[in-house]
Structure 1
């Protein structure tokens, strides 16, 4: 058959068949022989042709244990840092197998660096969920959306139970639970438990080209022992005694404890959580108003006859707006009714339940205060049955109940953030901020009510404003002073966050607070401007405290695995 040849962009056919020469035949045979020698199967068989079968363990090892955990044991990740190259094959495999969204990742790559024995060192780190022996995410979840499997120790997230409150993200010191805005829930690594059940390695383990990640069986007693004494899984990671993580990082290199995350000095504000900002500020001001009203009625019942109703009305309105705002923070609010499931371990669950009881008690107290007005609107038949004046003890009892539930609710709000172990949210700092907002809001509201409804301001109200203002100033200024320290710390980083990327918010906070205090002084000193000054003072104070609470969330140092790249909020 003639062969086609190409000439001048046209094809022509030669009648003479093409014959291969001996040299060309030898070349083809050589190519075929070389191809056989380069196949993976041929290389494998040649490598082990003269090697006893049991000696193959020197080259290969199981990616997962050959047995399941027994009593007192669980699965855990083991990472050989010397083999990790940071190629992100594990990240891609996890993303693909679990069908994650574009900006979602359950496994991350980071790095730590420092000077070890006079030599600059950098170590790549691959990390996912550590399936802790005492998981903070599980303990903090208010709706029971987490479970720790008894037979494997894997910490699983139950997507259908999640309400998207994101508290587990605040509780976890390793930034493991990731919020998916499109789904309205949090999701996390589950160690590919379905693959493990079938004897298959997790996606990250199976995809690692250098075998840096493996699954091991560990003793839970050993995990608890390894977490004692302020130890850390890795330089730059949070102290293990908090959650007792099970992941084991191994390296033949010396990883000095002074090594830091590669992004340690990056100043990126945390998530603002604006619905929580509004909720915390307004509920605390509302509790402060009811507290000041209750104290005032005990000290000067006659004077508070005209102030009692407006103070409680303002408290109910602000409290309701705050509680409604909290629901907008939830990604899946329909399941919020299950918040009682975490009552045993979760401070958030306790906060939700107590605030839920506080509002009806506060509304009952308001109804009692407004009873003389409500009685006149009641039908004649109802007036014949109901008393026109309620007993004094009943009014005091309802007021005391509302105040008590409000104070306990605010305490739970404080503990919600203290329990996350963030340095910026320690007990003293959070108590000063939340307690200061409650008292300053209550006493400023009292001054405004006295200026509008009583034409004069008492020493009790002015003294309360000054003392609560001092409490706020001392608390916030003390959190700015670490910026001048030479030693790097979480406190210094939070101070620098406020003074640099968040400086505009900080300045506006001080400006509005100053405007509120000046408006109070002007209303007191210039009687014709009493009402206007009172209104301006209240509005300015609410704006100022809202900005302060925004700083409370954004200036906190996010706890995470070291060197992890920051994500957009």
Structure 2
């Protein structure tokens, strides 16, 4: 059996959803939501743009992001067929694969707290049959073939460039005549339809859905800064407070999981997953920090190093959802927050001044970037963040370091809350919407 790829011809697809129904009929005992989705470009029929449909499921990539980033090592890739499989009995429900996959293939099974997605119908392939979606497509728009290493991987609407090498070949789109002939409707008449169509679907990452992670990242950055400051002559570390906050960190981190009893699996993919590395660093920090507080103070130095290493790992794992520049620098990065707090608590004014200036400039740059895109900048919240989180702490750091640190944490909470609302996971639908806004569509290449 050779590795398989999907083929798709958008010129044949009518958007009838037969593939979605066929997938459900074949896998209804495993599905809680559709594994295949039919996306329609220009559903409102704008007269200057083509209308076409895309039938997408998991593309069973050659370099799958879900497999690379999964901390629980719950994904495998079959060497014979190329199928990428999620093993529900290994999944801890952290949902990180849903952030990492640019094709929106993994779905959350809310009832089970685990991930599900297209399997490529392995039982059918083993019997020499096509996957159910392919076999029951009435227009023969979907197909399967042997994997073609020379297939094009970029330039397809709904399939933005990525390093995953999706195993799908899409036929070139023949631009049809505009769906509306004759007199073009005035812009005022088209506007309600476009506005309705351009309403972005509910994002995968929201502040309401990730509030536990907001608190987790805030507490861990403050705890790492406090431990480091206590070693450098700053406020002494209170061991019972450290133990309480450390327990709170663990509770917040596991509360995010669909299957918290499998949290131990997060350490199984240190080789490629930054989430695994974050969990390892946080565990090392809390373990060494507790021993330093109660047993051996000399362990405070490695504990502090592990703490700041954990902050670095946290920032790295958010790169899959943060698209603000080539370096993905952000004023709400927890490493910056931890170092800023360290400077305030110890009284190292140059460190606090430099970090505060860097964070403020990054914050203002982000607001300017959003203003250029026409996105809300929330001036009142921005002023509060700048005054509370930067100016106030720097003004009070020399005389009231604890008050300065408290103000900085409140400012960082505001920044971090905005940060979660800005996280932007790539999806086919989001790419199609972006192209519709631009008023053009790049034709797929063969």
TM category, shorter: 0.7 to 0.9
Kindly indicate whether residue 71 of structure 2 is the aligned counterpart of residue 142 of structure 1.
yes
Kindly indicate whether residue 260 of structure 2 is the aligned counterpart of residue 333 of structure 1.
yes
Deviations 1:481-509 (A, max 9, x none): 12344xxxxxx4xx72x53xxx4xx8447
CA distance in 2, matches of 1:476, 1:293: 29
Contact 1:113 1:120 in 2 (8 A): yes
Deviations 1:273-325 (A, max 9, x none): 2222221221122112223333x24xxxxxx5xx3234x76555434322320
Q: What residue is the counterpart of 2:157 in the other structure?
A: 235
User: Measured at CA, do residues 425 and 320 of structure 1 come closer, stay the same or move farther in structure 2, by a change above 3 Å?
Assistant: farther
From 274, 280, 291, the equivalent of 1:347 is 274
CA distance in 1, matches of 2:432, 2:20: 13
Q: What residue is the counterpart of 1:403 in the other structure?
A: 304
Q: What residue is the counterpart of 2:358 in the other structure?
A: 471
Displacement of 1:398 in angstroms is 1.8
2:282 counterpart SS class: helix
1:93 counterpart SS class: helix
Displacement of 1:173 in angstroms is 0.8
CA distance in 1, matches of 2:112, 2:83: 23
Deviations 1:136-157 (A, max 9, x none): 1001111111111111111111
- Segments of 5+ residues of structure 2 without an aligned counterpart are 177-195, 434-446
Q: What residue is the counterpart of 1:60 in the other structure?
A: none
Q: What residue is the counterpart of 1:356 in the other structure?
A: 283
Cα RMSD of the aligned pairs, angstroms, is 3.4
TM-score (norm 2): 0.80
TM-score (norm 1): 0.64
Kindly indicate whether residue 171 of structure 2 is the aligned counterpart of residue 250 of structure 1.
yes
CA distance in 2, matches of 1:287, 1:124: 50
User: Measured at CA, do residues 478 and 518 of structure 1 come closer, stay the same or move farther in structure 2, by a change above 3 Å?
Assistant: closer
Mapping for residues 110-259 of structure 1, pairs under 5 Å: 110-112=39-41, 120-219=49-148, 221-222=149-150, 226-227=152-153, 231-232=154-155, 234-240=156-162, 242-251=163-172, 253-254=174-175
User: Measured at CA, do residues 522 and 474 of structure 1 come closer, stay the same or move farther in structure 2, by a change above 3 Å?
Assistant: closer
User: Measured at CA, do residues 524 and 477 of structure 1 come closer, stay the same or move farther in structure 2, by a change above 3 Å?
Assistant: closer
Displacement of 1:246 in angstroms is 0.9
Number of equivalent positions: 408
Contact 1:269 1:555 in 2 (8 A): no
From 511, 519, 534, the equivalent of 2:384 is 511
CA distance in 2, matches of 1:424, 1:263: 25
Contact 1:281 1:322 in 2 (8 A): no
1:163 counterpart SS class: coil
Mapping for residues 414-425 of structure 1, pairs under 5 Å: 414-418=315-319, 420=320, 422-424=322-324
CA distance in 1, matches of 2:164, 2:380: 37
CA distance in 1, matches of 2:147, 2:31: 34
Contact 1:414 1:430 in 2 (8 A): no
Q: Which structure features the higher share of helix residues?
A: 1
Displacement of 1:328 in angstroms is 0.4
Q: What residue is the counterpart of 2:368 in the other structure?
A: 481
Q: What residue is the counterpart of 1:10 in the other structure?
A: none
User: Measured at CA, do residues 327 and 252 of structure 1 come closer, stay the same or move farther in structure 2, by a change above 3 Å?
Assistant: closer
CA distance in 2, matches of 1:548, 1:194: 49
Deviations 1:525-567 (A, max 9, x none): 9x9xx7xx956x665544432332232222122201146899x
Contact 1:270 1:555 in 2 (8 A): no
Displacement of 1:515 in angstroms is 4.1
Contact 1:513 1:544 in 2 (8 A): yes
CA distance in 2, matches of 1:119, 1:357: 58
Displacement of 1:431 in angstroms is 7.6
User: Measured at CA, do residues 180 and 75 of structure 1 come closer, stay the same or move farther in structure 2, by a change above 3 Å?
Assistant: same
Q: Larger Cα Rg: Structure 1 or Structure 2?
A: 1
User: Measured at CA, do residues 239 and 366 of structure 1 come closer, stay the same or move farther in structure 2, by a change above 3 Å?
Assistant: same
CA distance in 2, matches of 1:100, 1:563: 29
User: Measured at CA, do residues 520 and 80 of structure 1 come closer, stay the same or move farther in structure 2, by a change above 3 Å?
Assistant: closer
From 220, 245, 251, the equivalent of 1:318 is 245
Q: What residue is the counterpart of 2:412 in the other structure?
A: 545
CA distance in 1, matches of 2:142, 2:252: 43
CA distance in 1, matches of 2:49, 2:397: 64
